[in-house]
Amino acid sequence: MRDIIIFGAPGSGKGTQSEFLVNHYGLTHVSTGDLLRKEIADGTPLGCRIKSIMDNGGLVSDDIVVEMIGNVVANDTLGVLFDGFPRTVAQAEALDKLLASRQRSISCLISLDVPQDELIKRMLLRAATSGRSDDNEATIKNRLLEYESKTKPVAEHYRKQNKLISICGTGSIESIAANIAAAVDKL
């Protein structure tokens, strides 16, 4: 059983590398960003509540996200790839507790390290095709601030558990994937 977190700043390539990891290790992909965007697209009561938060580049509340994750982990078999979750230390603590209650624990947190100017460039480029309302300059700035203050400490939380793997997130998508696989296979 491998439960892996793919971690990094907005635009660092979490979603991109998730595709590779899911296929390579047969994991269940859980992207909280995708789950939340689906709520908005479906016009659910939850979607209406979180739309303005996401449009402003803020983080959705821990309670909502943790509840969504609880439902997914219960149905899993081979292991889960957590993409974009946890994004706060409170979410990380809740995840650790949830997995422990099922006699499981995180195998590793893979951190994709990308310089800020490259992150902004990627997200503005993605804006041309993604149709995502949070891929614009003002929102991107706020997402990066949220990352620095609330999300970065999650890496430290798992470093203390000796589970942090830092990977350079620039270069070709294939070379980054190969570096991730080499690190995961060593575990």
State the minimum distance, in angstroms, from the CB of residue 15 to ligand B4P: 3
- DSSP reduced 3-state for 165: strand
Q: Which residues of 98-127 are buried (b: 16+ CB within 10 A; e: fewer)?
A: ebeeeebebbbbbbbebeeeebbebbeeeb
Q: Is 177 a residue that touches ligand B4P (CB under 6 A)?
A: no
- Least Cα distance to 6 among 102, 75, 106, 133 occurs for 106
Q: Could you say which of 2, 49, 132, 159 is catalytic? A: 132
Q: Is 95 a residue that touches ligand B4P (CB under 6 A)?
A: no
What whole-number distance in Å separates Cα of residue 31 and Cα of residue 28? 10
- Our answer to whether residue 49 is catalytic in this structure is no
Identify which range of 6-14, 39-47, 102-110, 158-166 contacts ligand B4P by CB under 6 A. 6-14
x/- binding map, residues 138-157, to ligand B4P, per CB under 6 A? -----x--------------
Q: Is 109 a residue that touches ligand B4P (CB under 6 A)?
A: no
Q: How many residues does the chain have?
A: 187
- Least Cα distance to 13 among 74, 81, 67, 84 occurs for 84
What whole-number distance in Å separates Cα of residue 184 and Cα of residue 4? 9
Rule CB under 6 A: which of 17-76 touch ligand B4P?
31-33, 36, 54, 57-60, 65
Residue positions annotated with a catalytic role: 14, 87, 126, 132, 143
Instruction: Summarize as ranges the residues that interact with ligand B4P (CB under 6 A).
Output: 8, 10-16, 31-33, 36, 54, 57-60, 65, 84-85, 87, 91, 122, 126, 134, 143, 173, 176
